[in-house]
Amino acid sequence: MMSNRATDILFLLIKSLEKAEKRHFKLYITRNSGKADLKIVKLFDAIERNTDYDEKLLLKKIPGLTKSRLANLKTHLYKEILSSLRLLKSADSIDLQLTELFDFAHILYKKGLFLQSLRYIEKAKETAKTHHKYNIISPLLSLEKRIESLHITRHVQYRAETLADEVNSVNLHIDRVGRLSNLSLQLFSWFVQNGHARNEADEQGVKQFFLANLPVDAWQLDGFYEQLYLYQSITWYAFIRQDFIQYYRYSQRWVDLFTQQPSMVRVETGHYIKGIHQLLNAHFVLRNHCGFSKTIRLFESVVSLDRVRQNDNFRVQSFIYLSTARINQHFMIGNFKEGIKRIPDMKKELHQYDLFIDSHHGLVLHYKFAMLYFGSGDYGRCIDHLQPIIHSTTHLRYDLQCYARLLHLIAHYELGNDMLMESLTKSVYRFMSKLQNFTMVEEAMLRFLRRSITLSPRQLVPALTELLDQIKHLETNRFQARAFAYLDVISWLEAKLSGQTLEKVIHEKYLESRHR
């Protein structure tokens, strides 16, 4: 089952809690109420013990609880858990610390203690600037202006001009970060929806959108977040266009930004992890073995940090990206049988995080598992892992859904399921035609697979040779290259013609590349 499935929000929140967080909540709620035997605690325990959310069972377990009272109690419990987590996590988050400083400043302002309030505002502004959190400076400046304009302080004579300049500078900064982060998010969204550019029309559309939304002064900006979102935007832009050299350069700049400003690793851990993931992917598509090995060692060191291990979001994110990287390394080296040994542990962890992994990444992992089994010659298990993608109702990654169907068809071809080949080929052709998702490589593959049913053993070798000749020169064509990124068709054909396993063909290419 795919992740983030629709379920009760309170159930999801409770299931996300670590042992320390549960213990802290119990202490927090009993300390604040002065009672140990509370209905809210009983409700928490009842939900925490169950593997699924069952409202009827909850009403039976807690005597005197009606359906309407349960709804109110759930709302109260949800808020109390969040309050408990806020208290527990405040020391671990710059954003929460800054919000707390703002709250203190606001409380002191309401009490009429204006100079004390201004001291907290100044402290919050300094902290925010150190960590490039300009978005929180805006409400701080608004409160400071309110104090200076409504109340006579000793600062007012010289603060008016300075405050005005500060507000203008912060607003300009926030606007630039907002526009660049919008561009990055929209390009990422385009990729998740469509995959790579299929043709020149796709590429032209993405190029026009990119240039129209890129701030004219983007290359002159030197703030951390401006550079981060600029590099992210160009990384996605290059990846969509399959300009893998540019994709590598800007994913490297993304990671280097954190190397240059190491204090931001803790502040924006999620962005750092994603940057390393993009850099690993760039090395993978370029078959840069040395760079890949170096970057995966960096990633493993980041994953071992307490900051990552103790944060649910970062732990899940790291699991997805590190699993993908390790599988990709097996693809590059050609040791698929070693790779499938990892799958049981990965599936166990995937099930553990099932509620928190989004559909997109769940589908990608299933495709990676399927490719490992295909490369090892276990076509039956390959087909098993393609089923969740083929039968997915999500409207994400149409390119992945197309290649899952193509790989599914090839796996049936390898199994000799001739009775299914004609209907499956027609089905894949209809699906890809409907999405206008054909490249010359895919068309040639489908033509061969449809013909293969009628070919005699003597005719098969010339047909495979003809197919290899048709597609080999397309490896350098950007709009055709995506086929080779999803499925190493050329190595598969070379294996068929040489009588070797796909694993051996790819491994020999890997050994040859190391001696160049």
250-285 pLDDT tens trace:
999 999 999 999 999 999 999 999 999 999 999 998
pLDDT class of 384 with cuts at 50, 70, 90: very high
Q: Is residue 389 within 8 Å of residue 347, measured between CB atoms?
A: no
pLDDT class of 382 with cuts at 50, 70, 90: very high
H/E segment holding residue 359: helix 359-376
Q: Where are the domains of the chain?
A: 9-91, 93-154, 242-333
* CA atoms of 138 and 176, how far apart (whole Å): 14
The first and second tokens of residue 37, run together, are 């035997």
Asked if the model's pLDDT at residue 2 lies above 50, the reply is: no
Three-state DSSP state, 158: helix
* CA atoms of 379 and 414, how far apart (whole Å): 7
Residue 488's region, left for phi above 0, alpha for psi from -120 to 50, else beta, is beta
Task: Note the pLDDT tens digit of each residue in 227-246.
Answer: 999 999 999 999 999 899 99
Q: Which of 168, 246, 177 is nearest to 218 (CA)?
A: 177
The pTM of the full predicted model, rounded to 2 decimals, is 0.81
Three-state DSSP state, 478: helix
Helix axes 359-376, 398-414, angle to 10 degrees: 20
Task: Note the pLDDT tens digit of each residue in 478-515.
Answer: 766 666 777 788 999 999 999 999 999 999 998 888 76
* CA atoms of 1 and 451, how far apart (whole Å): 36
Q: Is residue 98 within 8 Å of residue 136, measured between CB atoms?
A: yes
Task: Note the pLDDT tens digit of each residue in 410-466.
Answer: 999 999 998 888 889 999 888 888 766 667 888 888 889 888 888 888 899 999 999
Q: Count of residues for the chain?
A: 516
The first and second tokens of residue 497, run together, are 């013609």
Q: Of all residues in the chain, what percent carry a pLDDT higher than 90?
A: 46
Over residues 33-58, the mean pLDDT reads: 80
The first and second tokens of residue 92, run together, are 């671990």
